[in-house]
Amino acid sequence: MGDMNREGYEFTYSGGLILSCLGCVLGTGNIWRFPRVLASASSDGGKTQKTLLPCSCVRTFGNVLIRAYAGSLTFILTWTCFLFAWSIPLIITEYTMGRFTRGSPLISFYRFLGPKFLWTGCWRLLLCCGRLVLLLFLPGLLSISSARIPHRKCGDIYLVHCECFPYLPRKHSLIILFMAFRLYTVCKFLATESVPNIIDSFDLKSTWYPLLMHTIGLVICGVCVFAGVQGIEVANVCLVPIQLFIVVFTFGWSLTREYADVGIQFMFTPKWSTLADPKLYVEAACQNAFDTAAGMGLFSAYAAYFTRKTSAVRYGMFLPMINNLVSLVCGFMLFATVFSTLIATEPTFTIPQIVEIMKDSGPGSTGLTFTWIPVLMAKMGVFGRVLCALFFLCLSFAGITSMISYIELTARTIQDFGVNRTNATIASLVVTFLVGVPSAVNLRILTNQDFVWGFALMISGLCYCLLVVRYDPLRYRKVIVNDFGIGDLKLPLVWIVSIA
């Protein structure tokens, strides 16, 4: 890993670093998933006879209508609590671990926990592969290993010689089973589908166009990742500000719409009885992990390019807050747009009918964002079409910046096995394309990914907690964070309570 210390293997300036870290998480989770989950989390318990009044009466009976159909405030409050109790402590752990080891999560888990816990680092990569359906390369790479890793033990941290890392102990062939499980779930799904159903999905509209976009996206991301950390930095410096500008612009426009306040008021209407529902906490925790990418390992991969002077704790505290603020802004934008447009164009619609439209996820969980936004904005004439184009341009940029971080994590991990940067990136891109085909050609597989990996992020986060607990939280805070960092914030003791 001596190469990592040479010039060119670090972020060049703090602005590029911040935008790159934001680019990891400012993605489809904010714009596509959060508003949909927020709408789905609204209570069904408020359907009373008063909600049957048409929305044309909303100026007179607005408060009665909205209170009769409880909104999403309890979800927002729970989701915010998980940000501080779960996501931020995990992200700080990822940043500080990557800064200290200057390697992928696989290396980090091996060094801190030893060979017996190497599988937890592979689980981190498996999780990232599942989110983008990246898989298959590492199982093949691991299967050729036969010898033990030469290492020397310093305290409880295993210091591994990078050039020897490809030779893994044979007993770790069990890792292949964990990596192959993801492929098994996809194959099992395909096996249960009838041949006509699978063939029917291969039409121009539902298959080849998404496949083409999948290819174009990988080409764009590959160009950035091939250039190393500087390429990643340049891409995020260009795309993230444009993405944020589009979000702020469309948010400001949505607030100027008549009846926009009805959507926002509904969004912040509580039903306190839902706090007794365990489903609320599961959905809030999964969505917050999805929003922030806490526990996925992306931040550890980027933190491998940090120096001791990089403020890992400061970034781990404030960047997730900015990310969740963007999610709330996207929620405002979509709720205001949907309510205002439907009330204006369909005066006979009731509040429950509008909410049911928002809760209908549609094929592949695309209903709210990919179906209704174009329909609603098209009713506003030329300006609506311009806004729609900006909205989906923002989504495209969000997907690209997130995909760059996923490919970088995979490439960084393969590099730690002794493979050069070029070959590691090529392998990541090729496998991503091949294994991404099932999700591109069948929306039911895409829906499966969205559901499964929301829960998997929680398991992934628990693995990071395991690392800190095994190493000793107090010692981790002192040695890995406070003593190692130069000019960074001191990690408060409350972090220990959250992580342990």
How many Cα atoms within 13 Å fall on the side-chain side of residue 394? 26
Residue type, 81: C
- Cα–Cα distance measured from residue 15 to residue 11, given in angstroms and rounded to the nearest whole number: 9
Place of tokens 């395909």: 190
Structural contact between residues 121 and 105, judged by C-beta atoms closer than 8 angstroms: yes
The encoded tokens of residue 459 equal 């398991």
- Cα–Cα distance measured from residue 335 to residue 358, given in angstroms and rounded to the nearest whole number: 9
How many Cα atoms within 13 Å fall on the side-chain side of residue 294? 33
DSSP 154: E
- Residues 6 or more apart in contact with residue 150 via CB below 8 angstroms: 161, 164
323 is in an annotated binding site: yes
- Cα–Cα distance measured from residue 61 to residue 191, given in angstroms and rounded to the nearest whole number: 53
- Cα–Cα distance measured from residue 100 to residue 300, given in angstroms and rounded to the nearest whole number: 10
402 is in an annotated binding site: yes
- Residues 6 or more apart in contact with residue 20 via CB below 8 angstroms: 11, 232, 233, 236, 237, 302
Place of tokens 């990569």: 125
- Cα–Cα distance measured from residue 8 to residue 10, given in angstroms and rounded to the nearest whole number: 6
Q: Which residues make up each annotated binding site for Na(+)?
A: 323, 402
Q: Enumerate the known binding-site residues.
A: 323, 402
